[in-house]
Structure 1
Amino acid sequence: MDLRRRDVDLRELMDDPDCDPVALAQTLRRFDVVNRAVSGWGTVWRRHLRPALARLDRPARVLDIGSGGGDVTARLARLAERDGLDVGWVGIDPDPRALAVARERGRPDLEFRSTDSTALRASGERFDAVISNHVLHHLGEPELEAFIADSLALSRGVVLHADIERGRAAYALYAAGILPLQHGTFLRTDGLRSIRRSYRARELRTTLAGRGEWHVVRPAPFRVLAVGAGRA
């Protein structure tokens, strides 16, 4: 397997509008387990998001762009509640299949909407933080340009885009570690394709150069996090 370059021609099974709906729903539900194990959002919450929200000293609003099955948004909502922060969470995704799963995770402080960042930006809504998980590696050049511009325009504060970091160790460990969870899902095939499409930290720094003030860190093994400042 050649992982020296991003394989941008790969497409994930779950992105096919005609994919098996049962397998898709199971994939989205089991992302909760996968993301808890490998996504590093606990660290991102402690080091980046919680301090930014706590400094506001008022109720906050956070937007999750491309929220998929909603597990990351719901987990962060629980962490905010645990830490005594008053936060309203909005997850957006244009895919009604993902939205149906996300709405299974409903909470009073959590809302999922069928829309995208461009439409939300045009509506005039603004947030105290904007986040995403596993979105960057899906995007081609024109889509990335719009996504970054939208996320900066929608946030009055921090912008956090988290993703996988491509590498041989990440590929090998995921290929073996996902086996107990893969039955009836797209987790193994799509996860490995995602790794092959994803950025290395230096590539992401280069890609984001000139698109605002960003710095790229590694919050956990095999993870990259682009940290930016909103312009709203």
Structure 2
Amino acid sequence: MAERHDRQLLVEGNDDCHVLYALCEKFKLPETFDIIDCKGIGNIFKGLPTRIKSSGAINTIGIIIDADTDILARWETVCNILLSSGKYDNVPNICPEGGLILHPIIPEDITFGVWIMPDNKTNGMLENFTTYLIPNDDRLLQIADETLDRIESEGLNRYELIHREKARIHSWLAWQEIPGTPMGLAITKKYLSTEPPVCQAFIQWLNSLFNQECIK
């Protein structure tokens, strides 16, 4: 996607992009920022120091990254980049539960935000966040869990256990009205709910970071 705005949201991959497009459409967020697929968390971290120094060309940068198996390590990496830039103080020791929004020491520099999937406090990834959006009265998720437990106990799983959540949500998606619907489209089709508190908090973070002037 071409960069058109002075506000940028950096994400790890294509799935993140489509989930975000669906959520932005659902909540009718103003199109004030670009969603940029950096094709991996390594590229996000590698390019951040340069982007943060791009005062004038860029007004606001947000990043969405997966905690994976060590949220503290992820946060430490972010903190080191922010502190090394010399543009921010009061960087917290842990990521705020509602996501970070950090204003620069010099107002003309870049406002920075981070959301660590799934909820800024637990290990996991985009797929965990998406699983949180499964309606409470759903009965298929339990069957998916039982199925995964069984194939893992019998050593039949071909996925690494670190990717269990991917297998979990995509098993559930395979059993919907249109089997195999991607996560973003599942939001659009309302297979997934946007009512859970974690989704509401995420949208509030996005709006606060990129659309503060639109919040009444």
TM-score normalized by the length of structure 2: 0.30
Which structure has the highest strand share of the two?
1
Larger Rg: 2
